Structure 1
Amino acid sequence: MSDLINNYKNFLNNGKTERECAKQIIELAEKNGYKDLTSVSSVKPGDKVYIQKMNKAVALFELGTEPLEKGLNVLGAHIDSPRLDIKQNPLYEKDFVVYLNTHYYGGIKKYQWVAMPLALHGVICTKDGKTVNVCLGEDESEPVFVISDILPHLAQKQMKETASDFIPGENLDLIVGSENPVKDSKEKEAAKKNILKLLKEKYGIEEEDFGSAELEVVPAGKSRDLGLDRSLILAYGQDDRSCAFTSAQALFDSKAGKKTLCCLCVDKEEIGSVGATGMASHFFENAVAELVARTENGFSELTVRRCLANCSMLSSDVNAAYDPMNADLFDKNNASFLGGGIVFNKYTGSRGKSGASDANPEFIAALRKVLDENSVKYQMAELGKVDQGGGGTIAYLAAKYGMNVLDAGVSVLSMHAPWEITSRFDIEQAYEAYKAFLTL
């Protein structure tokens, strides 16, 4: 399994945005014989195809021998992660320090993002149709960026405020440059002009091009083995790329029998699965329709609806790992543990299961059977104690079609922090579980 873990860590290192993840998944798919669905006119059993949306969502299919209306076995994950996004008019100078203005994306603790090295990833699109790829701060020879914090000597007022308030969102601005106040005091915004000059030289862009950019601020650095025994992995974005990678790899290493197999990787889960690339869009439905249209019998809306309703899906998403330092937040008998294997959540949601997807026990029993037959280690769990809060996944959006859906993923400690912790064993068991599920 060492190859799996090494490939996983490389995937994380090269996939710190949803675009970078989608690109890697498509490249891996093509190496495994998958073709762009839009480039083929017909499909038959054994064919491998993919379709993508806006470079941020991907659906992969390997066709089985059964008619599509019998449903698919689907592994569904999301490839976006909490981060900071650069605003559309971001660049400004304040007292000889140059900043990029940000807007945080997803559920973060703002104080975790200050005083640590950060990198810039994304694209800048210009009016002449050029797309400029940006990746700054990952190579040791490159500069990094940072959000400054108040020194403890002057932080008496800050330390009295609540954790959600002592660093306002508008203060999460990225330092990208500075100038000597004595040297440049006679020239207005000399530091900002210098940064614009450097951007022009490196990327050929003007300040106005930030208006059509998609730039993300992420922790700088590579994933690392954690612990003297190397049993854990420390990395950014393991929610939910740990499940996206293992789902895709499980599909590549499987062979369709009767059922058509699918791996679905979508965007925007961290902000409600919205937009054209989120699970709440029609991307998956449209992808299935395109697949049906290329079968021998041609397009039928009834076939599409029957296909979606008859699917079995694992919503491949992470769960909170039991934290011994904060044990009072968990019902220990219903918690997931690092090293306990893949985690199944019968239901998600908040408090009284608000916003939950609640899986049918018949589906869970069938899954337990195939996992036991394949000696896969798994655990059943909830996110935390009932009154502590909760969370959701893409499961409820898939369930609206009438399919069987169960949340299944990896335990994560420090979830949504810039650096998250998982178990190597759990990554391996997730991969094995996803492969076993595809045989149902």
Structure 2
Amino acid sequence: MRRNHRTGLAGILLSSLLLAPAAASAAPPCEKRPCPSNWLSLSSSDRDAAFAFAEDYKRFMAAARTELTTVRESLDRARKAGFREWTPDAKLTPGSRWYKNNRDRALILFVVGSAPMADGFRIAASHIDSPRLDLKARPLYEKQGFALFQTNTHGNLLNYQWGNIPLALIGRISRKDGTSIDLSVGLKPEDPVFMIAGLSPHVDIDLRNRTNRDVLAAEELDPIVGSMPKSANEGVFAQVADYLRETYAVSVDDLVSAELSLVPASAPRDIGFDRAMMTMYGQDDRLGAYASLRAMLALERPKATSVLFLADNEETGNNNNTGAASDTLVNLLGELLYAELGDRYRPPHLSRAFERTRVLSTDVNDAVNPTWPGAWEEGNAPHVGEGVNIKVYGQGNNATTEYAAWLRRILDDAGVPWQTATYKVGRASGGTLGGTLSRRDMDVIDIGAPVLSIHNSHDLSSKVDLWSLYNANRAFFAAP
């Protein structure tokens, strides 16, 4: 059953192709398809707030292109909001605000609550990595008079989406002497960009029988990074190597200890005459991360100690020491309990706190596509503009009924619109941080926002769904 819990509007005026405010009136919950858009239920002031919220989101996303830059941008906002770096000797007082930076690739923020931590935590978790191209350890090579970079894939890409679009190079290069340089090329209008050159329809006969996933094979995703030879005796490889040494003081060998990613270079943009939607790279799942971050920054003195967990490497299985499967979060929560209990602390205190912990694992969901609606089973498919997705995967992956009912009540009491999301049986798949955190004996439920074109080079979201997800996170943190 699909539900939509916003109070409805009696009508809406369309003037000069822009949505205009209309008078609010009561509307019954939406029990079956089609459901009205949540734009219809927003007051004029709420709609203005949703648009303003989206503008800040676009500014955030313009800067937050990788884990490194997302942590940097999030930390900057957190510090301005009064969050301080956590140390084990810090004094925990209700309302105090802290952060733990995990190697610049993952981040934990928390606000101390008034209730004992042994009573459990309230955790919002999202991942901040997105499908992309990474450079291999020795990426630079020369072929047919071009300098190119060898790449590897991070996450599940639609390879053909990455050809013939401007790409930016972002990341960090670490030298043997212990120094590092953060590099960003392609985001500023005056920067050069990089591009994977495809074949034209005049000469692509050898590619025409390839399936869409193989129109560009993974080993063919190599962008052009130079084309001017250094001299008659030295080619373009030498020219690029000289450029790296003279511009960044790094050698080709230094690229072995580099973390460099190629991401779409275009800036976030609005979609449509009404500007109700947005397109940009990386909304899976920095959209969820941003909504949770803003909710955390607005939090003052919750009852339960509230935690924001922004993790790396969800797209590759939550792995490595910056992913959700690491012990970083568990170790920090243990430190917090020890800081609260002192020498009375014992390991069972942590395991019992986990039993009483509630988690929102936030990640976006594939929304129904107007061109290919048959990819979804209509009754349980998430639609753009209809609110937060409660994910009901089945096959042993659902939250308990008690926790799902608790969340429904929290969202309904806060007036947050929601809908359910279930894939067609055997036709689709997806992962979040939820399974990893639930193995720690926490109560976890997956939620998200409906997004079109997930895992494409650019995905599309609705401003009203982003606004709903933010309000869902605020209601979650504030709930008793």
The aligned residue for residue 211 of structure 2 is: 162
The aligned residue for residue 52 of structure 2 is: 3
Instruction: Output the amino acid matched with 1:388.
Output: R
Listed one character per residue, the Cα deviations across residues 20-43 of structure 1 (whole Å, up to 9, x for unaligned) are: 111111121111111111274331
Establish whether residue 303 from structure 1 lines up as the match of residue 349 from structure 2.
yes
Instruction: Output the amino acid matched with 2:323.
Output: G
**Counterpart among 197, 211, 225 of residue 148 in structure 1:** 197
- Asked if 1 retains the 8 angstrom alpha-carbon contact of 2:88 and 2:339, the reply is no
- When residues 70 and 347 of structure 1 are mapped into structure 2, their CA distance, relative to the original with a 3 A threshold, is farther
Moved more, 260-269 or 366-375: 366-375
The aligned residue for residue 247 of structure 2 is: 202
Listed one character per residue, the Cα deviations across residues 93-123 of structure 1 (whole Å, up to 9, x for unaligned) are: 1121000110011000111100110000000
**Where in structure 2 are the equivalents of 1:24-423 lying within 5 Å?**
24-38=73-87, 40-179=89-228, 184=231, 186-188=232-234, 190-298=235-343, 299-347=345-393, 353=395, 357-382=397-422, 384-423=423-462
Deviation at 1:347, TM superposition (A): 2.7
- Asked if 2 retains the 8 angstrom alpha-carbon contact of 1:414 and 1:421, the reply is yes
- Asked if 1 retains the 8 angstrom alpha-carbon contact of 2:324 and 2:433, the reply is yes
Listed one character per residue, the Cα deviations across residues 186-245 of structure 1 (whole Å, up to 9, x for unaligned) are: 414x21111111112211111100000000000002101111110101010000000001
- Asked if 1 retains the 8 angstrom alpha-carbon contact of 2:111 and 2:299, the reply is no
Deviation at 1:387, TM superposition (A): 2.1
Instruction: State the aligned residue count.
Output: 429
- Asked if 1 retains the 8 angstrom alpha-carbon contact of 2:361 and 2:444, the reply is yes
- Asked if 2 retains the 8 angstrom alpha-carbon contact of 1:42 and 1:296, the reply is no
1: distance between equivalents of 2:257 and 2:460? Answer: 34
**Counterpart among 441, 462, 468 of residue 429 in structure 1:** 468
What TM-score do you get using the length of structure 2 for normalisation?
0.87
2: distance between equivalents of 1:120 and 1:114? Answer: 15
Instruction: Output the amino acid matched with 2:454.
Output: M
- Asked if 2 retains the 8 angstrom alpha-carbon contact of 1:337 and 1:411, the reply is yes
Instruction: Output the amino acid matched with 2:385.
Output: G
- Asked if 2 retains the 8 angstrom alpha-carbon contact of 1:357 and 1:399, the reply is no
Moved more, 230-239 or 39-48: 39-48
Deviation at 1:414, TM superposition (A): 0.3
- When residues 289 and 39 of structure 1 are mapped into structure 2, their CA distance, relative to the original with a 3 A threshold, is closer
Instruction: Output the amino acid matched with 1:209.
Output: D
**RMSD over aligned Cα, in angstroms?**
1.5
- Asked if 2 retains the 8 angstrom alpha-carbon contact of 1:50 and 1:60, the reply is yes
Instruction: Output the amino acid matched with 1:341.
Output: G
Moved more, 393-402 or 227-236: 393-402
What TM-score do you get using the length of structure 1 for normalisation?
0.95
Listed one character per residue, the Cα deviations across residues 316-361 of structure 1 (whole Å, up to 9, x for unaligned) are: 111110112111110011000111111110336xxxx3xx631111
Q: Secondary structure at the residue paired with 1:154?
A: coil
Deviation at 1:368, TM superposition (A): 1.3
1: distance between equivalents of 2:88 and 2:176? Answer: 28
Instruction: Output the amino acid matched with 1:9.
Output: K
Instruction: Output the amino acid matched with 2:347.
Output: E
Q: Secondary structure at the residue paired with 1:297?
A: helix
Instruction: Output the amino acid matched with 2:374.
Output: D
Listed one character per residue, the Cα deviations across residues 292-336 of structure 1 (whole Å, up to 9, x for unaligned) are: 222243543222212222110110111110112111110011000
Deviation at 1:45, TM superposition (A): 1.9
Instruction: Output the amino acid matched with 2:239.
Output: N
The aligned residue for residue 35 of structure 2 is: none
Instruction: Output the amino acid matched with 1:312.
Output: R
Deviation at 1:248, TM superposition (A): 1.0
**Counterpart among 69, 72, 75 of residue 20 in structure 1:** 69
Deviation at 1:61, TM superposition (A): 1.1
1: distance between equivalents of 2:88 and 2:197? Answer: 49
- Asked if 2 retains the 8 angstrom alpha-carbon contact of 1:347 and 1:359, the reply is no
1: distance between equivalents of 2:179 and 2:124? Answer: 34
Q: Secondary structure at the residue paired with 1:3?
A: helix
2: distance between equivalents of 1:335 and 1:368? Answer: 18
2: distance between equivalents of 1:426 and 1:393? Answer: 19
- Asked if 1 retains the 8 angstrom alpha-carbon contact of 2:128 and 2:311, the reply is yes
Deviation at 1:401, TM superposition (A): 1.8
Deviation at 1:385, TM superposition (A): 1.1
Instruction: Output the amino acid matched with 2:471.
Output: E
2: distance between equivalents of 1:307 and 1:347? Answer: 26
The aligned residue for residue 21 of structure 2 is: none
Instruction: Output the amino acid matched with 1:256.
Output: R
2: distance between equivalents of 1:74 and 1:151? Answer: 50
Q: Secondary structure at the residue paired with 2:279?
A: strand
